Amino acid sequence: MFTGIKHAHFVGIGGIGMSALAKWMLHEGIQVTGSDIHTSDITNALSHRGIKIFSGHAVSNVAKGVDIVVHTPAVPEDNIELKEATARGIKIVSNFELLGEVSSSYSTIVVTGTNGKSTTTAMLGLILEAAGYDPTVLVGSLVPGFKDGNLRVGKGRFFVIEGCEYKANMMHLQPEMIVLTNIEQDHLDYYRDLEHIQQTFQKFVDKLKGQGMVVYNVKDKGTQALKFPQGIGYGADVETDYFSRDRKTQPGSQRAMVFRKEEKEVYLGDVDLNVPGAFNIENALAATAAAMELGVPFATCRQALAEFSGIWRRFERVGVWHGADVVSDYGHHPSGVSGTIEATREFFPGRRIVLCYQPHQHDRTIKLFDDFVETLSLADHIVLVEIYDVAGRNEDHEVSSKQLVEAIKKRDPAKDIRYAPDLHHAENELRDLVKPGDVILIMGAGDIDELARKIIV
């Protein structure tokens, strides 16, 4: 699949998806180099594997012998390394374009949607691994149990990959099965509105090969506008192809009964999860439905899910600080944030929730402003960090986290909410606020995870 490539250079190699593709090429015996504006734990891990990492961009980074340059869409077209590659006639592709080529060599299962992609991809990959299918899996997070973290290279015919919907990047992939978690308004710097998002997902569904099927959440309103040639429904507390009932929670775990609809409903058994939230039961149902449609017994699904401990930055319990549990989470969409806060209350009943949140992208904050005000108010105490600037996105600074603070105060004058211009000030606010027994929920898709790692040291 990487025929003829001897030396690949990655521009923006520090991204979670880029780093997975770089590891894959290294696994295939290809020399890999890469550059990024910032070094990080991700780039350091790549360095330890023998990949030469350049800090910053320079013409000299594109060495003699490079025969393909892979870049993240966040890298601007006038990047000096891309210009150098163009001048030398080196093939240039985005990571999504390259993954599209790769996906045509496999029976590709694409997990896509607004929320839950990474967790569902990890769950499905682990189930197929447990079933002996030896899949190749690429996840936008780090998965305990995968030697390469965000990548598992297998010899089987299945390729399980997370399909990014931003700028319709999933359209590069060649799916034989689609797992569609949900559809909500997001990435409104690219999409016009919800209808535009739905139209794009419909086009993706229409790409399905042969008798390909869509595994979809029947209760998701955004998904209900789509038409599927062959749909397999899943959902909680609703009768469909695969469904759950009687969810029970206790500190640190949850359980639900799982059924399959045949001539009559068939009780398959219970699923036990060590990760919180009703949304994770739905993720588990999605993975189970997809796996069972591929011939995996429910017992294998149940065992793999019972052993699933979560993934990096998805309700990740990173340690204890000043007697408070610290949880890092990637949530950056209002529905994802609210679901995680509710899940925190279930797993840590009776505890104060201190939310330290960093909004991700100005455009998203402006267009979903009222939803964020409602969602963030669910926490007991809030430290709101200034909005994270996203490279390559529409970042007109028309809004600040200060305005969110003001709006939440107006909604609930008694709410303890504090503004932090940066991570340093956020840490100081937490020092003043946190008490033993609290749960500190550090959330956002930007660099706020650095704070979670720092304070527990």
CA gap 25, 32 in Å, rounded = 7
In terms of DSSP bridges, do strands 324-329 and 316-321 run parallel, antiparallel, or are they unpaired? antiparallel
What's phi and psi for 275, nearest 5 deg? -115, 145
Domain that holds residue 72: 7-93
User: Quick one: 325 and 300 in the same domain?
Assistant: no
> Does residue 385 contact residue 401 with C-beta atoms inside 8 Å?
yes
Query: Which CATH number fits the domain that encloses residue 193?
Result: 3.40.1190.10
Of the two residues 89 and 456, the one the predictor is more confident about is: 89
Q: How many CA atoms lie within 13 A of 106 on its CB side?
A: 27
In the chain, pLDDT over 70 holds for what percent of residues?
A: 98
In DSSP terms, 72 is beta-bridged to: none
Per mean pLDDT, which range of 115-119, 256-260, 364-368, 426-430 is the poorest?
A: 364-368
The predicted-structure confidence for 279-333, as pLDDT tens digits, reads as follows: 999 999 999 999 999 999 999 999 999 999 988 888 899 999 999 999 999 888 8
Is residue 184 included in any domain, yes or no? yes
- The structure tokens 């949140």 sit at 357
Query: Which CATH number fits the domain that encloses residue 321?
Result: 3.90.190.20
In DSSP terms, 177 is beta-bridged to: 109, 213
The predicted-structure confidence for 84-98, as pLDDT tens digits, reads as follows: 999 999 999 999 999
Query: How many other CB atoms sit within 10 Å of the CB of residue 2?
Result: 17
User: Quick one: 289 and 250 in the same domain?
Assistant: yes
Query: Which CATH number fits the domain that encloses residue 65?
Result: 3.40.50.720
User: Quick one: 267 and 330 in the same domain?
Assistant: no
Is residue 215 included in any domain, yes or no? yes
pLDDT at 392: 56
pLDDT at 420: 95
| pTM for the structure as a whole | 0.89
- Domain boundary pick from 28, 61, 93: 93
> Does residue 451 contact residue 423 with C-beta atoms inside 8 Å?
yes
Region 67-72 average pLDDT: 95
Region 140-149 average pLDDT: 92
In DSSP terms, 136 is beta-bridged to: 159
Is residue 99 included in any domain, yes or no? no
pLDDT at 185: 87
Per mean pLDDT, which range of 91-95, 115-119, 184-188 is the poorest?
A: 184-188
Stated as kind and residue range, the H or E segment containing 302 is helix 298-306
pLDDT at 247: 97
Position 457 confidence tier, pLDDT thresholds 50, 70, 90: low
Burial (CB count within 10 angstroms: exposed 0-12, middle 13-18, buried 19+), residue 164: buried
- Domain boundary pick from 60, 93, 126: 93
The predicted-structure confidence for 3-54, as pLDDT tens digits, reads as follows: 889 999 999 999 999 999 999 999 999 999 999 998 888 999 999 999 999 9
Residue 1 pLDDT exceeds 90: no
User: Quick one: 289 and 395 in the same domain?
Assistant: no
Is residue 57 included in any domain, yes or no? yes
The predicted-structure confidence for 220-261, as pLDDT tens digits, reads as follows: 999 999 999 899 999 999 999 999 999 999 988 999 999 999
Region 362-375 average pLDDT: 90
CB neighbour burial string for 107-138, b if at least 16 within 10 angstroms, e if fewer: bbbbbbbbbbbbbbbbbbbbbbbbbebebbbb
- Domain boundary pick from 93, 124, 147: 93
Q: How many CA atoms lie within 13 A of 183 on its CB side?
A: 23
In DSSP terms, 215 is beta-bridged to: 179, 232
Is residue 98 included in any domain, yes or no? no
Query: How many other CB atoms sit within 10 Å of the CB of residue 171?
Result: 15
The predicted-structure confidence for 370-406, as pLDDT tens digits, reads as follows: 999 999 999 999 999 999 886 655 556 788 999 999 9
